[in-house]
Structure 1
Amino acid sequence: MSATHDARQSPPPPEAAGGVHGFCDPRFTAVREAFEENFRTRCELGAAVAVTLGGRTVVDLWGGWADAARTRTWARDTLVNVWSTTKGPVALCAHLLADRGLLDLDAPVARYWPEFAAGGKEKVLVRHLLSHRAGLCGLREPHGLRDLYDWELTAARLAAMEPWWEPGTRSGYHALTYGFLVGEVVRRVTGLKPGAFLEREVTGPLGIDFGVGLPAGEYGRAAELTRTPADPDGEPAPAFGNLTRVMLAALANPVVGPAQANTPEWRAAQIPAANGHGTARAVAALYGVFAGRGSFGGRRVLTPAAAERVREGQGAGVDLVLGAGLGGESEAGLGLWLSGPRGAYGPNPRAFGHDGFGGSCGLADPEAGVSLGYVMNRMGPRVMDDPRKMALIDALYSAL
């Protein structure tokens, strides 16, 4: 197929700048059609989607605008903040260390981070950090943006605090704290923050265009994040209702959104739960390590047993932070969420992945041998399962 959209088959989407560009294996034409439909009917501004099958790229598409003013077209190498889709690569760091015998997921966190034992947390296990069950979904004291950009301060406050609930008994989404918790364990074991460790061990050797934070020299490639004012399908966004103290701690201490993420300060910081920057191709490759049972592109990153452990379910239930937004039970594995009966990552309940705030997604399905990366700059209002993401996933599985 030509590197650009074939206008003889269907007209380019009216909102896409010059149509959709890239490559799509004819078998996955439905994915291209769903991607184009996102521009026509689901308020897409700029976006990219990539799919791998057996470690081979079968879809690599992009289109639209990289900024709200529509002055820059989305290019093949446009980078975008993928928010919590970053959590997958951070989990990969922890599992790589466990695979090498340097980290025991069943050990107390305090074995690696002694200060963490304060506040009655001496029995909190590493697996509790990975599965959002540590009771540390947000800080109890006010924690502003400047505080969030300070790694040492944020880690010290988390080490000192008491959990919101008994660790290991419930899940409560650690929206921002996840990256500092898992990341500080990575740092204590390796001497490197997770972004540097990921680059040294995975993205650098495999040539994957993804990083935690963004160097100033790359700002010219970065898409501008913006919001859509209403649900793309005209449906009301899921509401949290009356926010509990736990929800407020997780989701509003501090409040972050596109206005903050577009700033040099956010990009310069290392926030491993929320400020990974990459292409859809990069997201598909990183989640492709899991889909390939530890291998991607002919290179082994994890042993098959270590890759399998990522989706070891930690118990289903209504999440204390996201429960109302998800509309029912969900289940986290050791770093990623299971597709489950909701089909969040396709019809295989054992497929797994992670959504990012506003719509982005990484997906891995080892049984089907597929991974998917979807990134965009117009953030939707939903907590998870953005209609654009779900349309792409439905199209992918229709082609398998």
Structure 2
Amino acid sequence: MTESNAIHGTVADGFEPVQAEFAAASAAEDGDYAAQVVAYRHGERVVDLWTGPEITPDSLLAAYSATKGAAHLVVALLVQDGVLDLDQKVSHYWPEFAVEGKGDVLLRGLLSHRAGLVGADAGFTLDELADDRIVAERLGAQRPYWRPGSAFGYHALVIGALSGEVVRRATGRSVQEHFAERVRDAYEVDVHLGLAAGEESRYLSARPAVATPERLAALAARATDAHSLPGIAFNRNHPDNPELWKLPNFPVVRALGPASLGGVASARGLARMYATAISQVDGRAPLLKPDTAAAFAQIHSIGYDLVNRERKAFAVGFHATSEVYPVLGQGAFGHSGAGGQQAFADPRHGLAYGFTRRRFPFPNGPAPENERLVRALVASSEALS
């Protein structure tokens, strides 16, 4: 192992297999590999590792869609408080939403990707996509791409704007403001939905996947039309749409922190966020009551995803993570990110996990090393039980 892919950090006794898998992942990549992995067990941090040039345990990396987990933790808290009701119509909070056949969409249907509002006919400029208020205004007036409730499809770049508008209408404050106050600052969670200028030096810019002839051929084989549902959902129908991996590298995205894709975080922050959701951490009570966590982890959409064009499972605002990693307990919930990020809580095992990497994996989505890391984490935890 060279200095560039040396493993730094610590693991608690019994969790050495996680470190071994992390070392194997680093060794399999070139010297440009940079990543962090952190895990908690019953509120105690048991894994805290990082590797690669420039990266430290406090480096902030693009969260991509792992941002959705932070945003929907806020929604879960507001439901727990009685401010929001999953069985209330979206239009109860947001009257302008009740047009073009959307008047009966329930909040739980919106959060489980069933509303049919995956994008806009003309797409969004970068500045528009970065501003949740603008995205919500456009989509609130739009006709859905399928009859709400009849199917589901990943609202990849817009779900946080839609749920965030419900939060804003119900409380007068943004998801970003709620998250900063109730989670980031109150529980010392290093996840940012809107990065302060003073924290910019900690951000490591995202990098694209390494292009090879085989990978380019694979991309060409799975390409879809810009005006198809996948094209609209990923904003490819707009002529100036940046590549997905570039989005968090734009200052406007980091500054505004759009709740679907614009967060930045360390693995320490992502893991601690989910640990505080389900466990007592540093003497602080869990953010979520068990019934709330179970309600948001319950599968609401499973089967053929009209956007991803494959089998997927969504809970309420989160991924049903045990459908991704069957070694996890039923009721695990979290959210991955296109840049390889993965973060979740597993209440049955008392585990919380956060993983970040700097370079986009191929294909995008939860990086393949996560499967091995998660398996090692669960096995290590069970061996101590």
Same topology, TM > 0.5: yes
Give the aligned partner of residue 259 of structure 2: 272
Aligned residues between the structures: 372
From 312, 322, 335, the equivalent of 2:308 is 322
Q: Report if the CA contact (8 A) 2:157-2:233 is conserved.
A: yes
Q: Residue 282 of structure 1 contacts residue 373 of structure 1 at CA under 8 Å; is this kept in 2?
A: yes
1:270-308 deviations in Å (ceiling 9; x for gaps):
31111111110110111224443xx54432312221111
1:281-300 equivalent positions in 2, closer than 5 A: 281-292=268-279, 295-297=280-282, 298-300=284-286
Deviation at 1:227, TM superposition (A): 1.6
* Paired residues of 1:51 and 1:370 also in contact (CA < 8 A): yes
Once the two structures are superposed, the pairs formed by residues 129-140 of structure 1 within 5 Å of their partners are: 129-140=110-121
**Residue 136 (structure 1) shift:** 0.7
Shift of 1:345: 6.2
> Which letter does structure 1 place at the counterpart of 2:273?
L
Gapped regions of structure 2 (runs ≥ 5): none
AA paired with 1:337?
A: H
Cα 1:151–1:355 shift into 2, 3 Å? closer
1:105-156 deviation line (CA, Å, top 9, x unaligned): 1111111111111222111111122111111111122311122133332221
Query: CA 1:281/1:236 → structure 2, altered by over 3 Å: closer, same or farther?
Result: farther
Secondary structure of the corresponding residue to residue 18 of structure 2: helix
For residues 67 and 375 of structure 2, the distance between their equivalents in structure 1, rounded to whole angstroms, comes to: 23
Select which of 29, 48, 51 maps to 1:63.
51
For residue 21 of structure 2, what is the aligned residue in structure 1? Answer: 34
1:119-198 counterparts in 2 under 5 A? 119-198=100-179
Per the alignment, residue 310 of structure 1 pairs with 296
Do the aligned partners of 2:299 and 2:314 also contact (CA within 8 Å) in 1?
yes
Matches within 5 A, 1:1-400: 12-16=1-5, 19-43=6-30, 45-65=33-53, 73-230=54-211, 240-243=222-225, 245-253=228-236, 254-292=241-279, 295-297=280-282, 298-324=284-310, 329-341=311-323, 343-344=324-325, 346-400=327-381
Q: What is the distance in 2 between the residues matched to 1:242 and 1:151?
A: 26
Measure how far apart 1:234 and its partner are.
8.4
Provide the secondary structure at the position in 2 that maps to 1:300.
Answer: coil
Q: Could you tell me the percent identity over the aligned residues? A: 33
> What does the per-residue CA deviation read over 1:232-268, in whole Å, with 9 as the maximum and x for residues that have no partner?
x989868645446211111134444333321222211
Normalised TM-score (structure 2): 0.90
C-alpha offsets along residues 164-206 of structure 1, whole Å, 9 cap, x if unaligned? 1111222200111111001111111222211111111111111
Worse overlay, 234-243 or 204-213: 234-243
Distance 1:188 1:120 in 2: 20
Structure 1: distance between partners of 2:215 and 2:379: 25
Question: What is the CA-CA distance between 1:371 and the residue it aligns to?
Answer: 0.9
Q: 1:179 to 1:315 in 2, by over 3 A?
A: closer
Assess if the C-alpha contact under 8 Å between 2:123 and 2:235 holds in 1: no
CA contact (8 A) 2:132 2:160 kept: no
**Counterpart residue identity of residue 334, structure 1:** V
Structure 1 Cα separation of the partners of residues 90 and 194 of structure 2 = 25
The RMSD of aligned alpha carbons is 2.3
- State the one-letter code of the partner of 2:290: P
Q: What are the Cα deviations for residues 69-122 of structure 1, in whole angstroms up to 9, with x where unaligned?
A: xxxx21121111110011111111111011111001111111111111122211
Question: Structure 2: how far apart are the matches of 1:106 and 1:374?
Answer: 33
Segment of structure 1 superposing worse, 262-271 or 181-190: 262-271
Q: What is the CA–CA distance in structure 2 between the aligned matches of 1:101 and 1:259, rounded to whole Å? A: 38
* Equivalent-residue separation in structure 1 for 2:271 and 2:206 (angstroms): 20
Distance across 2 between alignment mates of 1:90 and 1:109: 17
Of residues 156-165 and 346-355 in structure 1, the stretch that sits farther from structure 2 once superposed is 346-355
Unaligned runs of 5+ in 1: 1-11, 66-72
Question: Closer, same or farther in 2 for the Cα pair 1:353/1:236, shift >3 Å?
Answer: farther
For the 8 Å contact 1:42–1:388, the answer to whether it is kept is no
Distance in 2 between residues matched to 1:339 and 1:346, nearest whole Å: 10
2 CA distance for matches of 1:383 and 1:171? 21
The CA deviation at 1:22 is 1.6
SS state at 1:284 partner? helix
Tell me the SS of whatever aligns to 2:152: coil
User: Do the aligned partners of residues 214 and 250 (structure 1) sit closer, same or farther apart at CA in structure 2, a change above 3 Å counting?
Assistant: same
CA contact (8 A) 1:214 1:277 kept: yes
Alpha-carbon distance in structure 1 between the residues aligned to 2:192 and 2:83: 23
- Preserved contact between residue 112 and residue 301 of structure 2 (Cα < 8 Å): no
